[in-house]
Amino acid sequence: MRCILLKENDPAIREKIREAGIKVCLCAEFEDSCWLDYHPGITDSVHGVGYPFEFEDSQDDALKRFLAENIDRYVCKDVDEFIAKIKESGK
């Protein structure tokens, strides 16, 4: 399944997603989490992207790894499209 990606993340966006009835993982609130993603059929909630793992030195490294691992992705232009795509995917 295609990854649904929003290259934004802030408290207002997360609240709008929750108000739409979609779960948001705690990792979306991590300090370095600057994007949001959803993997239809794999996860049941929106996750944060950009926080480095132990083997990464920076947020930039984390974002590069994410993009390399998720070649099949749909990048949404705004939170409304992100919500619509999640719901369209069967959530």
Position 1 confidence tier, pLDDT thresholds 50, 70, 90:
low
Q: If you write DSSP's letter for every residue of 4-22 in order, what string do you get?
A: EEES---HHHHHHHHHTT-
Residue range 44-76, pLDDT digits in tens: 999 999 988 778 788 999 999 999 999 999 999
pLDDT for 81 beyond 90:
yes
Taking 80 as the threshold, does the pLDDT of residue 37 lie above it?
A: yes
From residue 54, give the alpha-carbon distance in Å to each of 31, 35, 86.
Answer: 15, 19, 30
Find the range with the poorest average confidence among 16-20, 34-38, 65-69: 65-69
Q: Is the pLDDT of residue 29 over 90?
A: yes
pTM for the full predicted model:
0.90
Mean pLDDT across 78-85:
98
